[in-house]
Amino acid sequence: MYPQYKLDQQFVLKQTQSIFELDATSYTQPLSHPEENINTPDEVGYKFSNIAYSKGAAILRMISNLMGTENYDNAIRDYLKEFFQNNTTPEDLFKHWKNYWPKNLEVDINQLFSDWTEQPGYPIIGISITPNGRYSLKQERFLLEPEDGSDGSFLYTVPITYTTSRERNFLNLKPNFYFNKTKPEQEFGFPGDDEWIILNLQQSNYYRVFYEASLLEKLRKALMATMHSGIHVINRAYLVDDLFTYGRIGLMSYDEVFRFMEYLAKEKEYLPWQPAFKAFEMISARFTLEQHKKFGEFLFDIMSTVYKELGFENSGDNVLDVYNRNKVISWLCKYHHEDCNQKAQQLFRSSKPTQISADFQETLYCAANRDGTFDIYTSLRTQFIDMELQSQKEKILRAMGCTRHYVDNHYYFVLSSKVPQELKSAGISYLFRQTPENVDPVFKIIDETLEELANALGSWSSTAYLISDLSYYFTTNEQLNQFQKFITTKGKLFGTAFSILEDAAIDVEKNLVWSSKHLASLFQYLDQRSDAAALTKSMPILSVIVVVFSYLRF
């Protein structure tokens, strides 16, 4: 009904990519369990999870594309007619899929269905070029932490779709062939004159792809070319999501990942930017303040084109442009982009709340307030006090927490009777979630007003959870030492909630280990990039000196 929402494209972000993380851990489960394993209400309730709804939806989308939409729709209609007002089993659905299954590709359909419904997880498909000059595929179960106790031996019947620089056909989602789980390796095609190859068209099928270095470099160059060489926007989005995930677990180093992401400097579409923003959220939480500064320089470079394209207002927006603008402005203003901050404050002062789109209101308020003067903060505070609608109060409170100049003012305001108790924890947490510079000041003021805070929040457990949330953003050994000292000296005040603080300290230690393991290569890359940019800027001056010197000599 509303094609402008592009829900077929958003599906990949909101369903497939969103469930990939859970489905790669020990907390996942198969879509179907034998009936004898489901005996209690709790066991029934356990089945109604994100796996059932998001992964289930992704698998249905995959099956529909494998069969062809018309075949799939006919099968579902027959299924609904036959079992109207009756109970069914998975086999009842499979029977109707089989009735309409295309005959032109060899696959064990029963194996295909059982692999994707009775096994947890999903595979990662590695693609490389063999010594004899063919493409080669290998698969294994993808796990974020292989040591978490998950069974890594699962293999799957994998539908393979692909296109190359010669065909550039991203619309045919029926499989070129199936990668049988009984084969350790599958060879196909010949690279020949292919400038690039890309697997899993429109991320139609439920797996990740890992390209060997030479193939990934070809894709990077293709994305840097005009119109991204015609590579479909969903495939650009899945490349971004996959590579950031590989960097997170060390399958690739972050310098390699960020070098690939230089292509985003030419990217204007929401779909590829969204997984990048999601990854930036996770990675930046591990940065020290000095590292934030270097990362900000990188953001300014790669986001200049999309920022110029979207601006603060555009009458020609589609829905995804609105989503993208919110993210772009949030990130640029968070890192104190001068033009972003100035325009946000100007628009805030020149507009009435009713003149600002509801979709953009919170983003603008936060951006204007972060580096704004006290009049902006007090204006928001007045709006909060006068506002009766709860959802609007929460939106304004989040934006108030973006301030980095009036941290104490906001903290004591949240503790006051002007803010309902159920909003107080969140009201304080916005201070450190939104602005990295606020982490140390907020911890200091919590330390100094601990009993007053616990009284305002209504319990020591609520206070412990708030401090645990804050500790997620501790990124130095000095912060860890201060936190451990805090636990030692004041932990007894928390009673049974003391364990929340202990667990938080353990998590901080783990995060520091992760940072030391994964971030060194990233900042080495950013330093080299910064040095190269500085050298490029100095070249015109150097050229003038050389020319003048040559003129004087001759």
Q: What is the DSSP string of 40-59?
A: SHHHHHHHSSHIIIIIHHHH
Burial class (CB within 10 angstroms; exposed 0-12, middle 13-18, buried 19+) of 151 = exposed
In whole angstroms, give the CA distance from residue 455 to residue 532.
54
pLDDT score at 88? 94
- Among 186, 218, 240, identify where a domain stops: 240
Domain-located, residue 544: no
Last residue of a domain, one of 224, 240, 256: 240
84 shares its domain with 152: yes
- Quote the radius of gyration of the chain (alpha carbons, Å): 27
Strands 135-141 and 158-160: unpaired
Dump pLDDT digits (tens) for 362-391. 999 999 999 999 999 999 999 999 999 999
CATH number, domain at 517? 1.25.50.20
Distance CA 393, CA 385 (A): 8
Q: Is the dihedral of CA 443, 446, 450, 453 positive or negative?
A: negative
Domain assignment of residue 522, yes or no? yes
Q: How far is CA 157 from CA 37, 63, 96, 178, in A?
A: 25, 12, 20, 7
Q: What 3-state class would DSSP assign to 31?
A: coil
Based on the fold, state whether residues 108 and 172 are members of the same structural domain. Answer: yes
Residue 212 CA to residue 219 CA, distance in Å, equals 11
Domain identity same for 388 and 488: yes
In this structure, the answer to whether residues 232 and 330 fall within a common structural domain is no
326 and 204: one domain?
A: no
- Whether 165 maps to a domain, the answer reads yes
Domain containing 128 — which CATH number? Answer: 2.60.40.1910
pLDDT of residue 376: 97
**Residues 12 and 203 sit within 8 Å (Cβ to Cβ):** yes
Tokens 């628009």 label which residue? 347
Residue at 406 is within a domain:
yes
Residue-level pLDDT, tens digit, the chain, 554 residues: 888 899 999 999 999 999 999 999 999 999 998 888 888 998 888 888 999 999 999 999 999 999 999 999 999 999 999 999 999 999 999 999 999 999 877 899 999 999 999 999 999 999 999 999 999 999 999 999 999 999 999 999 999 999 999 999 999 999 999 999 999 999 999 998 899 999 999 999 999 999 999 999 999 999 999 999 999 999 999 999 999 999 999 999 999 999 999 999 999 999 999 999 999 999 999 999 999 999 999 999 999 999 999 999 887 889 999 999 999 999 999 999 999 999 999 999 999 988 999 999 999 999 999 999 999 999 999 999 999 999 999 999 999 999 999 999 999 999 999 999 999 999 999 999 989 999 999 999 999 999 999 999 999 999 999 999 999 999 999 999 999 999 999 999 999 999 999 999 999 999 999 999 999 999 999 999 988 776 666 555 545 444 433 434 43
DSSP per residue over 424-436, as a string? HHHHHHHHHHH-G
Residues 293 and 234 in one domain: no
Does residue 548 lie in a domain region?
no
Q: Are residues 57 and 201 in the same domain?
A: yes
pLDDT at 538: 58
For residue 165, give its domain range.
Answer: 3-240
**216/330 same-domain check:** no
Type of residue found at 270 = Y
Check whether residue 219 and residue 300 sit in a common domain: no
Quick check: is 268 in a domain?
no
* Whether 404 contacts 370, CB under 8 Å: yes
**One domain, residues 210 and 106:** yes
Strand partners, 198: 163
Do residues 228 and 290 both lie within one domain? no
Shared domain check, 432 and 357: yes
Phi, psi of 397 (to 5 degrees): -65, -40
Residue 243: predicted pLDDT: 98
Spatial distance between the Cα atoms of 254 and 231, rounded to a whole number of angstroms: 23
Asked if the structure places residue 490 within a domain, the reply is yes
pLDDT for the residue 194: 93
Give a yes or no: residue 416 inside a domain: yes
SS3 70: helix
- Compute the distance between CA of residue 240 and CA of residue 143 in angstroms, rounded to an integer: 18
What's the CA gap between 168 and 222, in Å, rounded? 12
Total of domains in the chain: 2
**Beta-strand runs (E) in 253-363:** none
Rounded to whole angstroms, the Cα distance separating 505 from 433 reads: 18
Strand arrangement, sheet containing 135-141: 186-188, 135-141, 123-129, 208-211
Long-range contacts of 297-301, Cβ-Cβ distance < 8 Å, separation of 24 or more: 297/526, 297/530, 298/258, 298/526, 298/529, 299/331, 299/332, 299/335, 299/337, 300/332, 300/335, 300/337, 301/265, 301/533
